[in-house]
Amino acid sequence: MPVESPFHPRTRELCRSYRWKDWAGYYAVCAYDTYPEREYFALRHAAGLIDVTPLYKYVVAGRDAAAFLAHLTVRDVTKLKPGRVTYLCWCDGAGKLLDDGTVSRLDDGRYLLTAAEPSRAWLDRNRRGYEIEIDDVTDRIAALSLQGPLARDVLGELTDVAARMRFFRAADTTLAGAPARVSRTGYTGDLGYEIWVNREDAVRVYDAVLTEGRKYGLLPVGLDAMDVARVEAGFLMNGVDYTSANHCLIESRKSTPYEAALDWTVELERDPFVGQDALRREKERGPARCFAGLVVDWDETEALYRAVGLPPQVPSAAWRASIPIYRPDGRQVGYGTSGAWSPALKRNLALATLNAPHGAIGEKLKIEMTVEHVRHRVTATVTEKPFFDPERKRATPAREKPARGTEVAA
């Protein structure tokens, strides 16, 4: 049975839909309202507040902490400076993906690792020979994701760190009288921050952010709206767009960073790390698959519904399923893994795994679509990811505080 996050006393009161799901053993809100559209538009036009406490969190400390994390993951964490965050993934010895997450350097010899899946056993299995301590702080650290174009304004009402924080940086501060760590990170592909506080301070920090955020149009946001935003951002999800090698019964279900479009995170030319030899060989021969973005043809979709006397069906939530994808000649060349109708872009988006050599930008493929119990194939064009990528996401903030209620200029 799921347990309550430290923010549950507030999220329970605010959730009018009574729609919850189990996220890593915690109760998590799917949508606060009956439908998630209002929450989605808050993310894209104002600000949204998401409880992301269920992320697994580990503090790795000690003389060899950096070397240990560099050995365990595909990035050279020894280069990470204090106050910086990096996105990365880690693999088994055969170079197959286990999980992805972030590493934040807290101070000399201390790092915070976040993960989608429980990773303590994997950390312990690889710690031999390293002088380190590993502390699972998942249940002790509460986490909020404050996302949207006005997220900086909201956070600026509570602390000065937001005004000068650059993309993928982090800093310690005080929020509502409580010690907190703020990082400029998130899972929506927009300007945003993540707030990390001690469990006992969770409710007062939540109240403070929500109170200050109301004047900027901030809303509490559930996982449904966040999922649409992450599809727009082209972010893959463990257990949806790839399966951890820990859970794969057959080899064909496993993926590598190169197949999952995470090749940009792989730093091969350095000291040995887990999976290095296998990844080097794959880079030389080329991956067998690729992770691609697709835009599904709207005119064809509309015509299929019109033929049966219906308007096009636009789901308010993202879909997660294995949907066959074909070449125009009918040969299957991959499968969709997730997708969503993008209200911001007015496009029907999909993320997909495609067999090489398919996946070139502009390539026309066919994705399966069911209309009134009949299967059809609709044109889907391979498109660059991310689909949604505003300049404000990475822009260094201006020193001047923007006018209240206005969007920060990129």
Q: Which CATH architecture has domain 8-55+139-221?
A: 2-Layer Sandwich (3.30)
Domain boundaries, the chain: 8-55+139-221, 57-136, 288-390
Tell me the Ramachandran region of residue 368: left when phi exceeds 0, alpha when psi lies from -120 to 50, beta otherwise: beta
288-390: CATH topology: Elongation Factor Tu (Ef-tu); domain 3 (2.40.30)
| pLDDT for the residue 170 | 98
Residues of the chain with pLDDT under 50: 398-410
> For the segment 29-83, what is each residue's pLDDT rounded down to a tens digit?
999 999 999 999 999 999 999 999 999 999 999 999 999 999 999 999 999 999 9
Specify the 3-state DSSP secondary structure of 152.
helix
* Residue 282, SS3 per DSSP: helix
Contact of 372 with 310, CB cutoff 8 Å: yes
**Domain 57-136 in the same topology as domain 8-55+139-221:** no
Quote the CA–CA distance of 67 and 50 in Å, as a whole number.
Answer: 33
Task: Give the full edge-to-edge strand order of the sheet including 170-175.
Answer: 170-175, 178-183, 192-198, 141-147, 48-51, 219-220
pTM: 0.94
Tell me the fold of 57-136: Alpha-Beta Plaits (3.30.70)
